[in-house]
Chains A and B, each alone.
Chain A
Amino acid sequence: MKSPENVLVLTAPSELTANDASSLRDKAKTRFTENYTDINLDCSHLGFIDSSGLGALISLQKLAAQRSGTLRLLKPQSAVIQILELTRLHRIFEIVPG
């Protein structure tokens, strides 16, 4: 695990849908300043995610990848992991279980 000063820590809302996807995307873009390479997204409260929410996660992953970093999904609930597995996206994100 890289040192914490490289890691932007964000908290996912309880729902990540077409409603709130752009809000998370914008928040990440604003706060992902030059000193960061990685993003840790705390998913412990995330109970529901739809395809737009998955799109937001991919945009976060791209932000990190531009700086050779990684997006880590921390403690996602099993329902969220199932969606990631269904859409094969668990191959792309680093999933850190709770």
Chain B
Amino acid sequence: MSAPAPFRNDPSLITPPGAEEGIAWRWTGIPSLMAVREAAVNARKFLKRQGLMEEDLNAWELVLTEAANNVVLHMPAERAGDSWNLQLIVTPKDVTATLTDHSPGFEWPDKVDLPDVDSESGRGLYIIKEMTSSRHYLRGPQENVLTLVRARQASGRITNADNVREPRTEVFTAEEKKELEATLDDMTEELGAAYESLSAIFRFSSESHRITDLSDFTSTLLHHLGTVTQSDCGVIRLAEEEGTFRTLAVMGGVPSPDTLDDGDFDRLEQAAIASGQDQWIEEGTLPARARIKSGLVHPFYEGGILMGTVSLGRHRLTDPMRAGDVNVVHTFSEFLAQHILRRRHEEAAQRASAVKRELELAASIQRSLLPRSMPSIPGLQLSAHCESAMDVGGDFYSVLPWGDTGVFFMMADVMGKGVGASMMAAVTRSVLRSVPQLYEDPGLVLQQTAKFLFEDLDRLEMFVTAVVGTMDLPSGEVRVASAGHCPVLIAMPDGEVYEIPACGPPLGLMEEIHYPSTSMRFPAGSRMLVFTDGLTDPRDGRGAFADHTELAHWLKESARSAGPADDLHEALLHRLRLNSATAPLADDQTFILLHRLETPTAP
């Protein structure tokens, strides 16, 4: 912009023909933006001296700036020296501004609307239209004349300009007092509105601590929001997974997608979500039966993620919501979003803690099922191992003294994981231990257990594989019965390995079933391995052993190379851990090793 523009200001007051009561003021300037500002500021000063209200002064400063900017912007460069004139005439009722210029001018549109919200220009004429009572634009070959009239605010009154141009004294004139009072009234009203918003937020905050249900919480919030924004109806909807919405709270019936069946509300809501911006409801936006004259649909986000929408409508007020109202809507929405997030975190934490408690309970049940020590039987080396995948499982084993010279062993694997499997393992163990009179015939034990457990297992749609058996040292015989369990492996002193396979289906499939027992010689130096399928059959990846055959081969080689008193326990654990070191266990790994020593150990 150039140096100070050479204004030719004519401050003399003239009375135009036919305006006896008016006071006029004229300005002549060059077409530059700086001159426009000078003109507008001086016009404002003149109007202020005439006792116009603050709102009128603001309006005229803006209207004159917009109108004169138009002149400057339409002026071709070759006519930059042409002057333009501004004349103001103030009467008790209104102010008339006449702007004369020599630019080529422009077409004044029939209809002046706001441009798109993201347009950076095109609001000048709209501002002029909204802030004046009437507008006339005469576009001529030599000059253009724009005449603007604006009615004065009621309390403004024409004054003697000469009087108010006297040096200011401490005493306010009656008009200045009125203006001051009006300003104070405005400020009080604004403060009141702000206080109303703040106190509503505080009231709601204090109430919200007592509300535990999210729906109640949201209803209360919506109710408060409605009061503050003078809304008659509203709805708050929560965004859920897969783009669906759940209505959390409704006030006054509409706007609700349930009552506006033609999808007008849905359309607004979708537009709000698609653009991420508030959608404003004006008269005619929604069908007449919705009775909504103004309002808005506000999408709210947290961390960039859509949380929901808040929609409010007014039946009586046609004015769009003011900035203060919009602020309250935004603040409440943020508050709601925070509340929802906190609630979700709490729920997730509760769920995690419930799962953890269940796992702890299940693990503790399972630990209680396992023997703390092995019976001590002269001539028999006994060891066992049970390692659970994912904290808990359904494997268990027991080795009980049987008479003075033998043992009764049991091993079971309940299909499933968690507390259910652990509970069922406990039940199965109790049943198996409740029939010692049948231990002599392991097949009968399984038959009886199958009968006891059938109803429960069938109802729970679970099943249990189990193997039970006896070993008696004096007779040197093992008797085994297996309900769908992995084979029992027996390595003879000569290194030959035998498998005793299952002799019937798992427990829980049939109520009445006969399990035949298998008997085998178990001479001194023999070893027996009872195990669950965790050793050979992990759910994913490769197990420690590919199959029973590989495990049988390992037993054969290990038994052959081991000394007569060597325990295979550590060797087997080592082999299992080699393969599970890189990944967590996929299934419980449980085994019992029985070794009949060559020479009976002294008791």
Report the bound CA distance from A91 to B54 in whole Å. 25
Inter-chain contact A91/B324, CB cutoff 8 Å: no
**Cα–Cα, bound, A41→B216 (Å):** 38
Assess A97 versus B62: contact at CB under 8 Å? Given A54-B123, A87-B126, A91-B326: no
If A50-B65, A87-B123, A88-B117 touch, whether A95 touches B323 (CB-CB below 8 Å) is yes
Interface size class of chain A, counting residues whose CB lies under 8 Å from the partner chain: 20 to 34
In the complex, A78 has a CB within 8 A of chain B: yes
B318 on interface, CB distance cutoff 8 Å: no
Contact with B along A1-35 (1 / 0, CB 8 A): 00000000000000101110000000000000000
CB proximity to A under 8 Å, residues B53-91: 58, 61-62, 65-66, 69, 72-73
Q: Which residues of B contact A19 (CB under 8 A)?
A: 1, 33-34, 37
Known: A50-B66, A52-B121, A91-B117. A17 touches B33 (CB 8 A): yes
B585 at interface by CB-CB < 8 Å: no
Q: Does B119 contact A (CB under 8 A)?
A: yes
Q: Is B42 an interface residue (CB 8 A)?
A: no
Please, how many angstroms separate the alpha-carbon atoms of A65 and B535 in the complex? 60
Asked if B127 and A85 make an inter-chain contact with CB atoms under 8 angstroms apart, the answer reads no
Q: Are B37 and A92 in contact (CB under 8 A)?
A: no
A residues whose Cβ falls under 8 Å from a Cβ of B: 15, 17-19, 48, 50-52, 54-56, 58-59, 61-62, 68, 78-79, 81-92, 94-95, 97
Q: Which residues of A contact B66 (CB under 8 A)?
A: 50-51
- With A52-B121, A87-B126 already in contact, the answer to whether A79 and B58 are too (CB < 8 A) is yes
Whether A92 contacts B277 in the complex (CB less than 8 A), given A18-B36, A52-B121, comes out as yes
**Pick the contact of A18 from B33, B58, B61, B296 — CB < 8 Å?**
B33
The reply to whether the CB of B327 lies closer than 8 angstroms to some CB of chain A is yes
CA distance A59 to B121 in the complex (A): 10
Query: Is the C-beta of B240 less than 8 angstroms from some C-beta in chain A?
Result: no
Residues of chain B within 8 A (CB-CB) of A86 are 127, 130-131
Within 8 A of A (CB), among B102-128: 114, 117-124, 126-127
Give the secondary structure class of B's interface: helix
B69 touches A97 (CB 8 A): no
A81 to B135 CA separation, bound complex (whole angstroms):
25
Is A50 in contact with B69, judged by CB distance below 8 angstroms? yes
30 A-B contacts, Cβ less than 8 Å apart?
A17-B37, A17-B65, A18-B33, A18-B36, A18-B69, A18-B72, A19-B34, A50-B62, A50-B65, A50-B66, A50-B124, A50-B127, A51-B121, A55-B119, A55-B123, A58-B120, A78-B190, A81-B323, A83-B127, A84-B323, A87-B126, A90-B322, A91-B117, A91-B277, A91-B278, A91-B296, A91-B326, A95-B323, A95-B326, A97-B194
Interface centre among A50, A55, A79 (most CB of B within 10 A): A50
User: What separation, in Å, do the CA atoms of A19 and B39 have in the docked complex?
Assistant: 13
Instruction: Compute how far the CA of A84 lies from the CA of B323 in the bound complex, rounded to whole angstroms.
Output: 9
Residues of A within 8 A of B36 (CB): 18
State A95–B325 Cα separation when bound (angstroms): 11
Residues of B within 8 A of A81 (CB): 323
Q: Given that A19-B34, A88-B117, A97-B324 are contacting pairs, would A51 and B124 also be in contact in the complex, using a CB cutoff of 8 Å?
A: yes
Task: Determine if B280 is an interface residue (Cβ-Cβ < 8 Å).
Answer: yes
Alpha-carbon separation in the docked complex, A92 to B36 (Å)? 29
- B315 CB to nearest A CB, Å: 21
A92 close to B323 (CB less than 8 A): no
Q: Are A85 and B323 in contact (CB under 8 A)?
A: yes
Tell whether B17 is near chain A: CB-to-CB under 8 Å: no
Distance between A19 CB and nearest chain B CB, rounded to angstroms: 5
